[in-house]
């Protein structure tokens, strides 16, 4: 069965809309980067395309986007397969079950949601097998940290006390590269306080593992605060793509 083309490459209304929204977000990023005195080290934009069709990802690629984020394996695997001609880096940013590791390492450049030793082991095993098959690069791994004060915060992530152990596992696992930390600001809390806490966690991890320089933080609502506190990777969805459609 032939899949319909994801996008015919024509200059349509959706392309114009995405271009305009992307420009607006890029201007916000530039202003916040200048405001933080970080022009020499601007953050990298990852456009979160979850729930939006592959055609939108193709349009974004045509607009110069190189990094996209997804949070469900099946959806991400499907889009990555349909868009395999495009040079995109896929970032997995959602909660990940260990039994999905094999699938994720087939398309993902990075996983931002590493939150437990068992997942490190599953990703390491899967990526080494994939490297033998395809010679793929090492998988970039971010330790997702919970910034909620109550230990089992609903937005996911390891408690800060678990970060050193995860750092050690990621730094020594074949096929994995310890990139740094990732977090989502707790709902209803001050994002500045949350990202300041994350910057401290990052500094402590870097003291032990100097290569762990990345801080994945900042979404549509709080990208300015994240940039102020050192975010190196921004994960922006709705301000670029618009409201997420209902799951189809």
Ligand X SMILES: *Cc1c(COP(=O)(O)O)cnc(C)c1O
In the complex, least distance from residue 50 CB atom to ligand X, rounded to whole angstroms: 6
Q: What's the closest the beta carbon of residue 45 comes to ligand X, in angstroms?
A: 11
Kindly state whether residue 68 participates in binding ligand X, applying the rule CB under 6 A.
no
Quick one: which of 237, 245, 247, 248 contacts ligand X (CB under 6 A)?
A: 237
Phi, psi of 215 (to 5 degrees): -130, 110
36 contributes a contact to ligand X by CB under 6 A: no
Min separation Cβ 112 and ligand X, Å: 7
Binding-residue total with ligand X (CB under 6 A): 14
Q: Dihedral of CA 81/83/87/92: which sign? A: negative
93 binds ligand X (CB under 6 A): yes
Q: CA-to-CA distance for 159 and 149, rounded, in angstroms?
A: 9
Q: CB–CB of 218/185 below 8 Å?
A: no
Alpha helix segments (H runs only) across the chain? 13-35, 54-62, 73-82, 101-107, 117-134, 163-172, 191-208, 223-228, 238-241
**Would you give the DSSP letter of residue 158?**
B
Alpha carbon distance 94, 193 (integer Å): 23
Cα–Cα dist 232/89, whole Å: 16
**Closer residue to ligand X (CB): 99 or 221:** 221
Q: Which is nearer to ligand X, 65 or 130 (CB)?
A: 65
Q: Quick check: 71 binds ligand X (CB under 6 A)?
A: yes
Q: Based on the shown chain and the rule CB under 6 A, indicate whether residue 178 belongs to the binding site for ligand X.
A: no
The residue among 142 and 175 lying less far from ligand X, judged by its C-beta, is 142
The residue from 15, 184, 198, 205 that contacts ligand X (CB under 6 A) is 184
**Is 48 a residue that touches ligand X (CB under 6 A)?**
yes
User: How far apart are CB 114 and ligand X at their closest, in Å?
Assistant: 13
- Is 220 a binder of ligand X (CB under 6 A)? yes
Report the 3 state secondary structure along 139-156: EEEEEEECCCCCCCCCCC
**CA dist., res. 149 & res. 141, Å (int):** 24
Nearest approach, Cβ of residue 52 and ligand X (Å): 10
Does 236 participate in binding ligand X (rule CB under 6 A)?
yes
Q: Which residues bind ligand X (CB under 6 A)?
A: 48, 50, 71, 93-94, 184, 219-221, 235-239
């Amino acid at each position: 069965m032939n899949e319909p083309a994801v996008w015919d490459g024509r200059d349509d209304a959706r392309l114009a809309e995405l271009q305009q929204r992307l420009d607006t977000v890029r201007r916000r990023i530039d202003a916040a980067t200048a405001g933080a005195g970080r022009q020499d080290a601007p953050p990298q934009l990852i456009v979160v395309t979850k729930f939006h069709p592959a055609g939108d990802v193709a349009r974004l690629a045509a607009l110069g986007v190189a990094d996209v984020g997804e949070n469900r394996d099946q959806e991400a695997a499907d889009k990555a397969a349909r868009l395999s001609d495009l040079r995109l880096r896929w970032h997995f940013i959602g909660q990940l079950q260990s039994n999905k590791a094999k699938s994720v390492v087939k398309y993902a450049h990075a996983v931002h949601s590493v939150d437990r030793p068992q997942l490190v082991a599953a990703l390491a095993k899967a990526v080494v097998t994939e490297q033998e098959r395809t010679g793929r690069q090492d998988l970039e791994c971010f330790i997702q940290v919970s910034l909620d004060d109550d230990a089992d915060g609903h937005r996911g992530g390891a408690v800060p006390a678990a970060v050193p152990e995860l750092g050690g596992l990621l730094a020594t696992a074949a096929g994995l590269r310890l990139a740094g930390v990732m977090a989502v600001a707790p709902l209803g809390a001050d994002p500045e306080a949350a990202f300041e806490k994350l910057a401290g966690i990052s500094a402590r991890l870097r003291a032990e593992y100097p290569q762990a320089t990345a801080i994945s933080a900042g979404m549509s609502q709080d990208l300015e605060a994240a940039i102020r506190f050192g975010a190196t990777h921004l994960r922006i969805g709705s301000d670029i793509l618009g409201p997420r459609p209902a799951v189809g």
